[in-house]
Amino acid sequence: MTLTFRKLHPLFGVEIGGADLTRPVDAVVFGEIRAAFEEHSVVLLRDQPIDDAQQVAFTRLFGPLETTVSANPAGGTAFARQSNLDINTGVVIPPEDRRMIYQKANYFWHTDSSFKKVPALCSLLSGRLCPPEGGDTEFASLRAAYAGLSEAMKQKIETLVAEHSLAYSRSLVDPTVLTEAQKAEVPPVQQRLVRVNPINGRKALYVSSHASHIVDQPFAEGRALLDELTAHATQPAFCWSHQWRQGDLIIWDNRAVLHRATPYDAVKYKRLMQRTTVAGDAPTVTP
Ligand code: OGA
Ligand code: MN
């Protein structure tokens, strides 16, 4: 298998051709994919009609999988399901249903599982059913964002820590969308604002819609800083948008990019995206 590489955006992202993820991926090919992931932060592989078992097998090559929080329709499994189809019947879920409202939080720029003490390494999203229009996923490079900060801002945020929680990001959509039990499952955690890639030393600005405020600062002050940094990080020059085709697989580095979903006509079209998530190996804040 010889792989081909095509850049998706001047600052980040690569499309890899020549791989077949429906079959076991050997160590040499995986090594190239893993290296591309570390370098480019977003990796697109097209025409990969994988099933759940094949997705899990490929995902495991990156490391141990996370188990999804119970608020997602696929909670308790290795999958996070982004879909307007009922998991059991396949029937379209009405827009006012709690499960559709829960998914609206994906419209905010975020990184997956920053609300966990050990945040996720990467996510793999497989396009199983894709609407013909809308439902694109957008990405923003947090390395480009960090590099683009003023020296004064870099110094200001170097040691700052933000509090992240699923309850906070979901409250932006609807404060009642999570039950008390679902909130208790993932209590607030702390994450550094600046993360360093252990392999290449590149720094990323670790913001996310899960981040509510800065630890040891008045809420409003920290909130204003997070809003300013997120606006900076998501300026058009740092963003790339993907229009899905069935069979696309995207791997993204949750340490180095933000992503967000965009709307589609969820009454007219079907959308089913299956996500597997690879756990990180350490907290960003050491006690
Ligand atoms: C996710 C996510 C965006 C989308 O799966 O983590 O945010 O476009 N998905 O479905
Ligand atoms: Mn996500």
67-77 pLDDT per residue, tens: 999 999 999 99
pLDDT along the chain (287 residues), means of 10: 95 98 97 98 98 98 96 94 96 94 95 98 98 98 98 98 97 93 95 95 97 98 98 98 98 98 97 98 91
Residue having the nearest C-alpha atom to atom 5 of ligand 1: 275
Ligand 1 centre to CA of 190 (Å) is 23
Residues 6+ apart with CB under 8 A from 52: 79, 274
Number of Cβ within a 10 Å radius of residue 61: 15
- Its sign, for the CA torsion 22, 26, 32, 38, is positive
Atom of ligand 1 nearest to the CA of 135: 8
Q: Which of 82, 84, 100, 257 to mutate to test the pocket of ligand 1 (most atoms within 8 A of CB)?
A: 82
Asked if residue 273 has its Cβ within 6 Å of ligand 1, the reply is yes
Residue 108 DSSP one-character state = S
CA 102 vs. chain centroid, Å, equals 16
Number of Cβ within a 10 Å radius of residue 6: 10
Q: What per-residue confidence (pLDDT) applies to 138?
A: 98
Residue 234 in contact with residue 23, Cβ under 8 Å? no
Atom of ligand 1 nearest to the CA of 259: 7
Q: What per-residue confidence (pLDDT) applies to 217?
A: 98
Residue having the nearest C-alpha atom to atom 4 of ligand 1: 261
Q: What per-residue confidence (pLDDT) applies to 287?
A: 74
Residue 194 in contact with residue 158, Cβ under 8 Å? yes
Residue 106 DSSP one-character state = G
Give buried/exposed letters for 91-116 (b at 16+ CB in 10 A, else e).
ebbeeeeebeebbbbbebbbbbbbbb
Burial-class residue 245 by CB neighbours within 10 Å (0-12, 13-18, 19+): exposed
Ligand 2 centre to CA of 286 (Å) is 25
Residue whose tokens read 């190239």? 32
Q: What per-residue confidence (pLDDT) applies to 286?
A: 86
Asked if residue 113 has its Cβ within 6 Å of ligand 1, the reply is no
Ligand 2 centre to CA of 217 (Å) is 27
Asked if residue 242 has its Cβ within 6 Å of ligand 1, the reply is no
d(C-alpha 74, C-alpha 81), whole Å = 6
Asked if residue 250 has its Cβ within 6 Å of ligand 1, the reply is no
Q: What per-residue confidence (pLDDT) applies to 253?
A: 98
Burial-class residue 169 by CB neighbours within 10 Å (0-12, 13-18, 19+): buried
Residue having the nearest C-alpha atom to atom 3 of ligand 1: 261
